[in-house]
Structure 1
């Protein structure tokens, strides 16, 4: 007779059956703060529907399946024809379909479009981050393509479509398309001006033949790519379709898929252009970097949003676990030291969320003609990209530790978050690239610093630690001699001051006080969980608790 040796008790139920949008007070409040009143109700309902989908067991299973079954390259068909296709698990297609139908590839066709899309991107990325790559690039290809109006007229309606239609066919025969990007080459990495891919003009106006190699080509299953190549007039941006208008396949040779640390559901590839690869010029010859930088700017903001999403999901899982798990005679969430850790994670996550939505709102305002917001974005986007993406990995690691050994097991989902967490600090320019970009903005565009100071000045007098941090920052900015060697410190302070100003103005006092004390006042340590003790920490943790279905 078999005897039971143990019973299953004190196990935390899965975090499912909740609204990822409405269950995140920091996100919902930030969205309400920036969205226009005329369509606030409709936009909030749309985000809530996406949030309920994101919190469902079905969507979470899609995310797990897409990562358990990574994409596979098929270079040839059974008969030996070169096809260069990438096969994905059905769950990947379901994730992408929901993202596209939710409008996450379109921030351009409705009021508050950037804000609404950024909030939706932050919600849906919490299900699975890998498929956010083609979503982000498809969205961000639009402003770059507008440098060539005749191309934009054809492609923009397809890129912003809410119809997901996989498969390689001519764009004119599809209801919606996806876009990728290929800038990086072996010899140059982030230094794209070292690119050697050649572009030779063809008889058709605007058409070129490309010869070269791309070391990183994102989302190679996409319908078209923005790439850089050297035309007779210099480094130039091109639109390269996978299938030509006549239905023949373009010469786009996928050499291999990258074996990556994380982002396993998404394909990244090395590709070869063999001289028969046809592409169409976007913008003027020799203006490739300024043209494609429109795409890079949009994707950098998505790096901030994507990291904020990963941080929020990690915090939600940690708080949920502590609220249900009992140890040492009570709930973990009630233990003072765990409470301190959770509160510290929560303020970091809320600061990232508040900054993401403020920048998205600034994008909408800049598009409407606000020079102030345009200047603010020039400095704040690279600063935010540097800092928020840097904070993501240590936060996720600490959140994983809150689950103990269970967090180290794949079934918890935390290892996938941890593997994903470093990506956004590398994608679209690593930390040094962002820091140098901030220096360029400070040295060449005085309007950027003025806009930044006006933004943080709105919180002047609200917290003495913030006031002191702004004063110290001004002192540091007054001496830019030899600044490159200390650029990271400067950019970190810019981001922290901006986050502090936002929280002081808009977050509950408990959140703002804890942030200013630990991040600006020097009262916190290097590790999470070192906030100065205050009775309000419980309120900070409770605010971060997801409203689940249990």
Structure 2
């Protein structure tokens, strides 16, 4: 009998040194180009150009090379072990005392240690006062991008930790009030570092926390309260602290009053934000918390996620009364950006594995890497990933620009507006793209990619949570509509930036004039300008429409169209400023061909909505 063996795909010991896109992106951001002319051909070197250094790329390169080695070797091995030995809920001790201990494997604890030491949270804060300054967030998220792909999703508690630190910074007096907690959240020292949870989702579930939250807070004294409620989905229950939402009971209420409040009574009370310790600092016992069970999920198996009952949990009011939703907005900006970066990280990992496997696996007498059908599939995957990379990193760096602004108040305003619109776009687009792209990558590897012990199925399972966590695709699309309604200037700022990039007239490097490249550039520019016009026309239709159903039905199409247009503009910008102009222009042009038309919003009138209702609900319509 002949043997059946395959040489497995390899990460070659370092995922940073193999990542030319990340290197090129960081190199071009490490310096700033000043040109005397904005009208030259993009295929010609500006006659006078000077550069100023934003940060020392060589120093950063050393950090990322070390992290790239860790991410290619230690992290996947630890992730495999942590997945094999998932967390356990120990409800009672040997003497029938309720203890609710959550036991995690040492591999999970090692992953948490590496996460802290690598600075995937801390660098976003500590690096603000270093040479990286306003690029601290870009550096932080570049590290996260390298770290996340195969780490048993230890990045979930780290995302919430970053979000908690950001929230504390934005609430006046909160950092000084809980200085030790804040320092622990951003620490790179594993002996000091702590993690945070977000206890938001309740029994009725979903992203509608304002309507679904039933937890009630009973006043004790000053800002101290006791919380009563049920948290249906709480990730990272092994964290040390958490932020949660609750409704403050009317003055003079008792515990019995709180427990007997109806759903309608609770709904009339606006939400406030609270800080709580998971365990009492003095006794290390759970703080008025009963763990009902750990969640059995499709993926993220090593991540302890639980259902909790709060029965008199001590908490501190940290928002103005009734302003809880508004106060968690900065936290959501951070956690949604983490979600997007992790999506791109997983896309990059599967592409790396497929590329390497394509040099080893043979079919029909040839290496996969030269078979036309395989090459076309992988090329399209690569272009899609590159577009997502640019969208996410642009969002990440602009968060940093809002935290460490330059001297221009106008530049700060524009970056704040861009972050407001880019956050839901990046989270929505990358989460939705990641799952089919990773599935395609698994298919490219074939039957071996379907085997659990290859480690590849875990990437796909873990990616499936990305379109769900921090708000589903439709929730993000509706958030884009809210931005359009409440902050229309944010979308106009984005579209104005696309306009500038579409008409940009210079590049960093010398590239010979080539008719084919000229034609591609002209086509890309025309596509961008045409798409801007179509977006403007649709926005005017939404503005004039009196039907909220018409607007909401087109939300997803509009948000994806806006994402694609901005991605193409960013890919064009990268081609101008990178040294691989021809290759990058081909990538941008391929993106156009893959997504023509860029603006694709189905206009759904009343008759079409009725048809959709029939098709969507079928025989279940009578139950609505």
Q: Normalised by the size of structure 1, how large is the TM-score?
A: 0.88
RMSD (Å), alpha carbons: 1.8
2:320 & 2:180 partners in 1: Cα distance?
19
Task: Tell me how far 1:188 sits from its aligned partner.
Answer: 4.6
The reply to whether residue 506 of structure 1 matches residue 579 of structure 2 is no
CA–CA distance in structure 2, aligned partners of residues 498 and 72 of structure 1: 44
State the match for 2:454 in structure 1: 412
Assess, with a 3 A threshold, how the Cα gap between structure 1 residues 188 and 331 changes in structure 2: closer, same or farther. closer
Q: Hey, what does 1:49 align to over in structure 2?
A: 66
Equivalent residue runs for 1:114-263 within 5 Å: 114-146=137-169, 147=171, 148-165=174-191, 175-194=192-211, 195-203=213-221, 205-232=222-249, 234-249=270-285, 250-263=287-300
Cα 1:267–1:492 change in 2 (3 A) is same
CA gap of 1:86–1:248, structure 2 versus 1, over 3 A, is closer
Q: Equivalent residue for 2:21?
A: 26
CA offset digits 1:433-475 (Å, max 9, x no partner): 1111100101111220121112212321441333332322222
Report the secondary structure of 2:200's partner residue.
Answer: strand
After superposition, the Cα gap between the structure-2 partners of 1:467 and 1:223, relative to the gap in structure 1 and judged at 3 Å, is same
Q: CA deviation at 1:82?
A: 2.5
> Is residue 102 of structure 1 aligned with residue 145 of structure 2?
no
Say whether the 8 Å CA contact 1:122–1:305 is kept in structure 2.
Answer: yes
Tell me the SS of whatever aligns to 1:226. Answer: strand
- Structure 1 residue 272 corresponds to structure 2 residue 309: yes
Residue 108 of structure 1: how far off its partner (Å)? 1.6
What does the per-residue CA deviation read over 1:202-224, in whole Å, with 9 as the maximum and x for residues that have no partner? 12x32110000101111001001
Shift of 1:500: 0.7
Tell me the distance in 2 between the aligned counterparts of 1:126 and 1:455.
31
Q: Assess if the C-alpha contact under 8 Å between 1:497 and 1:520 holds in 2.
A: no
* Equivalent pair of 2:358/2:367 in contact (CA under 8 Å): yes
Q: Distance in 2 between matches of 1:22 and 1:468?
A: 38
Counterparts of 2:88 and 2:7 in 1: how far apart (Å)? 35
Partner of 1:170: none
**1:9-20, aligned counterparts within 5 Å?**
11-20=6-15
Unpaired runs of at least 5, structure 2: 31-52, 128-132, 250-268, 406-411, 504-520, 576-583, 599-624
| Deviation by residue 1:77-117 (Cα, 9 ceiling, x = unmatched) | 22333322211122111211111101112212212221111
| Residue 326 of structure 2: aligned partner | 290
Deviation for aligned residue 1:488: 0.3
Aligned to 1:325: 361
Per the TM alignment, residue 63 of structure 1 is displaced from its structure 2 partner at its CA by 1.4
Q: Hey, what does 2:441 align to over in structure 1?
A: 399
Q: 1:347 and 2:383 equivalent? A: yes
Rounded Cα–Cα distance in structure 2 between residues aligned with 1:485 and 1:201? 43
Instruction: Determine if contact 2:175/2:182 at 8 Å carries over to the other structure.
Output: no
* Distance in 2 (alpha carbons) for counterparts of 1:320 and 1:121: 22
| Pair 1:441 & 2:483 matched | yes
Q: Deviations over 1:261-314 (max 9, x none)?
A: 111111111101112x10111121111111122211110001100111111111
2:594 aligned to which of 504, 508, 518:
518
C-alpha deviation, 1:517, in angstroms: 1.7
Partners of 1:206 and 1:72 lie apart in 2 by 35
* Preserved CA contact (<8 Å) 2:83 2:152: no
In the alignment, what sits opposite 1:476? 538
**Deviation sequence 1:456-497 (CA, Å, 0-9, x none):** 123214413333323222222221123111100000001111
What is the rounded CA distance, in whole Å, between the counterparts of 1:294 and 1:207 in structure 2? 24
Relative to 1, partners in 2 of residues 1:248 and 1:62: Cα closer, same or farther, differing over 3 Å? closer
Q: Any stretches of 5+ residues in structure 1 without a counterpart?
A: 166-174, 523-550
Whole-angstrom CA distance in 2 between matches of 1:322 and 1:96: 33
Corresponding residue to 1:78 among 81, 87, 94? 94
Deviations 1:187-243 (A, max 9, x none): 25211112110111212x321100001011110010011111111473111111022
Give the deviation of 1:62 after TM superposition. 1.0
Contact 1:465 1:517 in 2 (8 A): no
Matches within 5 A, 1:83-94: 83-94=99-110
Contact 2:82 2:152 in 1 (8 A): no
Q: Is the 8 A contact 2:227 2:314 kept in 1?
A: yes
How many residue pairs end up in the alignment?
506
Partner of 2:352: 316
* In 2, Cα distance between equivalents of 1:42 and 1:129: 29
Q: Judge conservation of contact 1:51–1:123 (CA < 8 Å) in 2.
A: yes
Counterpart in 2 of 1:425? 467
Q: Counterparts in 2 of 1:328-407, with a 5 A limit?
A: 328-369=364-405, 370-407=412-449
Between 1:229-238 and 1:90-99, the stretch displaced more is 229-238
Residue 458 of structure 1 contacts residue 501 of structure 1 at CA under 8 Å; is this kept in 2?
no
Within 2, Cα distance between the matches of 1:492 and 1:149?
Answer: 38
Distance 1:192 1:151 in 2: 27
What are the superposed Cα offsets for residues 355-409 of structure 1, whole Å, 9 maximum, x if unpaired?
A: 1111111011111231111101111110111111001111011111101111111
Q: Mean alpha-carbon deviation: is it higher for 368-377 or for 486-495?
A: 368-377
Contact 1:59 1:127 in 2 (8 A): yes
Per-residue displacement from partner, 1:148-199 (whole Å, max 9, x unpaired)?
A: 344342321110011224xxxxxxxxx2211011101112521111211011
User: In the TM superposition, what is the alpha-carbon distance from 1:22 to its structure 2 partner?
Assistant: 2.5
Check the 8 A contact 2:215/2:229 in 1, yes or no.
Answer: yes
- 3-state SS, counterpart of residue 365 of structure 1: helix
State which structure, 1 or 2, has the greater radius of gyration over its C-alpha atoms. 2
Hey, what's the Cα distance between the residues in 1 that align with 2:205 and 2:17?
Answer: 44
**In structure 2, the residue corresponding to 1:243 is in which secondary structure?**
coil
Deviates more, 1:29-38 or 1:355-364: 29-38
Residues 408 and 415 of structure 1 are in contact (CA less than 8 Å); yes or no, is this contact kept in structure 2? yes
